[in-house]
Chains A and B, each alone.
Chain A
């Protein structure tokens, strides 16, 4: 297995913990992944920073922020990839969710929020989370890689 795959697996382990609401020390992420990605592509760096920022928010935010983050993780991963073999009738339980359970489900924000007993109409919670996550990513990118992340975001904006 090559280095990128190894890092990807490590990151997914951490995402799984965030989904379950298990606190993560960002330094633990650094110890496991940082030294492996310093010369990697911007995509790898972004994956690392995004995870680290999410772990930071989960650790420093309020319980409402943590819950919104967990809802967002469900929302993102359920829409990240189509899965040909999903069981749409399966009942989901937020206390025992795993990423594998949700990949390909294509849940809406409303459905993801309902899983955690949150207000399904409160889209502003998601907007606030995106904003906070963006700020955290930009800050951490600069601290860790010594450069600006805005360029990366700008490239996406142009597309």
Chain B
């Protein structure tokens, strides 16, 4: 204590005791979830909510632990993401090539998007087919994962190459070459992640294990899994289309075992759609 006056000294003791009580740990039930923490970490919480949450962290050891651990993971993810911009995967490579001023692909893309819908279906299909041929050839040379028993039998998913190696993932009727081309045309764009949807569809149709495919996007962000999330809901929230869930799996292969959806609070990598 700095103060020697007895009255002030007693008051100061009362004061320091009061301050200590203000930040003593509380073990009450609280309602803060990972979503709030993630919003805070991304600077998206309203100031009032942010202040309240910060105050709560001062007294709730449980939330402090969860928040700090999430902050560490998010930080690590961000570092990894900044490194993955220089990824050498095919999709990233094509994207970079397309972005080169005056490049052949940029001109081809401009030409492509100027075409009417029906022509784009045909052209898109052709381009995608070439891309897929490239990837299928390279992928087939990579180690092929054994198939797992939990795979759902579905006419569209069990293709010529045999059953897929990804188990326990949602079935969908969209992931066929034809329907993907239609979807691409309906979306009306040809950017990286939509191209990836193409590629994935072809790979699945050909029975190539998704585990053998490498994929990265130039613009990625993170998503923390919530209580009711599935691959499809994450795809819907992030890409606006539940049927593009294989992209989410591909980006998070190290976070899933046999295609199982990871536990609540897992930080997933997700692409940022470019419109």
Contact = CB atoms under 8 A, between A and B. Distances in A.
B55 to A, nearest CB: 4
Given A46-B14, A157-B6, A5 B55 contact: no
Contact of A100 (B7, B8, B22, B58): B58
Contacts of A81: 20, 23-24
Interface string A51-89: 000000000000000000000000011011100000000
Most buried by A among B11, B13, B20: B11
A143 interface: no
Contact of A80 (B7, B22, B29): B22
B34 to A, nearest CB: 18
Interface string B162-178: 00000000000000000
B59 A9 contact: yes
A76 B56 contact: no
| Consensus secondary structure, chain A interface | helix
A126 interface: yes
A133 B23 CA distance: 20
A130 interface: yes
Contacts of A130: 3, 8, 11-12, 15
Contact of A76 (B19, B55, B59): B19
B21 interface: yes
Given A5-B59, A131-B8, A76 B26 contact: no
Contacts of A156: 10-11, 13-14, 17
A58 to B, nearest CB: 15
Nearest to A85: B68
Contacts of A98: 54
A95 interface: no
B58 A99 contact: yes
Contacts of A100: 54, 57-58
A130 B14 CA distance: 11
Contact of A8 (B22, B29, B51): B22
A8 B18 CA distance: 11
A12 B2 contact: no
Interface of B: 2-3, 5-24, 26, 28-31, 51-52, 54-59
